[in-house]
Amino acid sequence: MALPAAAPAEDPLSAIGWLRQAPPRDLPGTVLLEPPVSKTALNPEIEVTPLEELASAIGLVPPEVTGLPLDVWQGSEPDRLARAIAEVPVQDSPAMQTLLYTLLLSETRPPPGPDAAEALLLARIDRLIKLGATDPAQALVQLAGPTDSAARFRRWFDATLLTGDEDRSCAALTAAPYLAPDYAATIFCTARRGDWQTAALTLEAAHSLALLSPQMLALLDRFLSPDVFEGAPPLPAPADPDPLTFRLFETIGERLPTAHLPRAFATADLRDVAGWKAQIEAAERLTRVGALSPNLLLGLYSDRRPAASGGVWDRAAAIQRFETALDTGSADAVAKTLPDAWAAMRAAGLEVAFAELFADRLAGQQLDGPAAGLAWRIRLLSPAYEDAARTPPDDTAASAFLAALAQGDPGRVRAPDDRARAIAAGFAPDAAPPPELRDTIAGGALGAAILRAMSLFDSGARGNPADLSAALATFRAVGLEDTARRAALQLMLLERD
């Protein structure tokens, strides 16, 4: 996501005030700016300070694409930065989700400090995994060097277990056994590499020395000796499995459902080993937080005819009927199927994904009445919101405000409610970040300022108008105009608890 160019300032950003001042007059004689001459003939002691090596930039997307500078994290305290990355709320705002992914995946340098680079990298990986973006998390740690530390390897190993790429991490573990998170990982990878005898001997040692929990030992027993336990009752399902436990249950034929597990586990349901219903549910769960492309979800919806009714089947059927209507080119067919498709996606919290998939095709439809109004609002939720703003379907106050907001000037029309007034205040010509964020930005901590503004936006969305105005003003002040507009439009158009 490239950031819009900031408006040209009156003076160059690098201008320093005192450079423009006239030189002082009537100086009091000669001013000595050098230290006193040494009183001895001995060589002075020379203090040598090594220059700190500039940390390498790490990220999956170059600055030319994201628009973020390489030093976006400079000027920030590493510990506070890691906490902010872990805690910034984005659950209910697709625009904030997109911005967070941009921050996490952009190619950037860490702030200075002996442990800052590792702390920031691990915080980025952990948040990606928490969001369910397991593939990007795996790619990021692979780019950074997954075997450079045990902490990196543990995260990489977990990610590969969920994406089905564990052969790669197991090969690395075989080459560097000291990286193993525990004996269970060693046994699993040894078996995966085809050395079942060594895996069995290691498991026997783990039994004898009680190196693993009884539950893990029982699970590994069935993994290595399935014939011995044929016909045995299933093992109790763990309440909070780790990725290795999850994959071991899958391997022995007792696959665990992922609906109540952390979002990262949904990635495992995207593989062919899961049924179609489980794949759709996983894709919906991940798309809802921006961790999966809407096109992949659409592919699953369209994969085959629904086998039943209710829940995901109704959504798949509604999307299929709507796609068929679009393909016919009949405005009447589109107007008839659009409300049901929209209602189905609203029920799943996937309105923005629907807009990104179908806004362009809706723009070419000659609709009228309620269908035209609905199609217009859907287009406002897409990246083409500014094009949609030029042709509002009616002259109501609500539509006028939405059109003005999409064009970046909501203050030119009357705001229909308190939330709209707070949004308009954030877009006012004299709107500015609050003092604390102005100081943060001036100190060079751009990334920390953006994360703080994201937290303010969440507070504003929950009913604090001052925080909403401050967040929008901050986004615009640092060049995130598109983020500000899309976040505000989503706040006006989406219904969230």
Q: Please tell me the pTM assigned to this model.
A: 0.87
Yes or no: say if 279 and 257 are a contact pair by the CB < 8 Å rule.
no
CA distances from 252 to 121, 234, 244, 247, 365 (A): 34, 10, 12, 9, 52
Q: Residue 21 has what pLDDT? A: 37
- Record the tokens describing residue 18, joined without a space: 């005192």
Residue 435 lies in a domain: yes
Q: Residue 53 has what pLDDT? A: 58
Report the distance separating Cα 307 and Cα 393, nearest Å.
38
Domain of 428, in residue numbers: 67-123+416-497
Residue 82's CB: how many other CB atoms inside 10 A? 20
Number of domains in the chain: 1
Q: Residue 307 has what pLDDT? A: 79
Residue 11 lies in a domain: no
- Record the tokens describing residue 251, joined without a space: 């391997």
Q: Residue 455 has what pLDDT? A: 98
Residue 422 lies in a domain: yes
Q: Residue 310 has what pLDDT? A: 86
Q: Residue 1 has what pLDDT? A: 42
CA distances from 449 to 2, 168, 214, 389 (A): 18, 38, 48, 30
Nearest-5° angle of CA 251, CA 257, CA 258? 105
**Segments of the chain scoring below 50 in pLDDT:** 1-38, 49-52
Residue 142 lies in a domain: no
Residue 10 lies in a domain: no
Residue 135's CB: how many other CB atoms inside 10 A? 17
What burial class does residue 321 get, using C-beta atoms within 10 Å of its C-beta: 0-12 exposed, 13-18 middle, 19+ buried? middle
Locate tokens 């029982």: which residue? 218
| Residue 58 dihedral angles phi and psi, to the nearest 5° | -130, 135
Closest CA to 160 of 170, 151, 152: 170
Yes or no: say if 110 and 55 are a contact pair by the CB < 8 Å rule.
yes
Residue 85 lies in a domain: yes
Residue 99 lies in a domain: yes
- Record the tokens describing residue 392, joined without a space: 């509002």
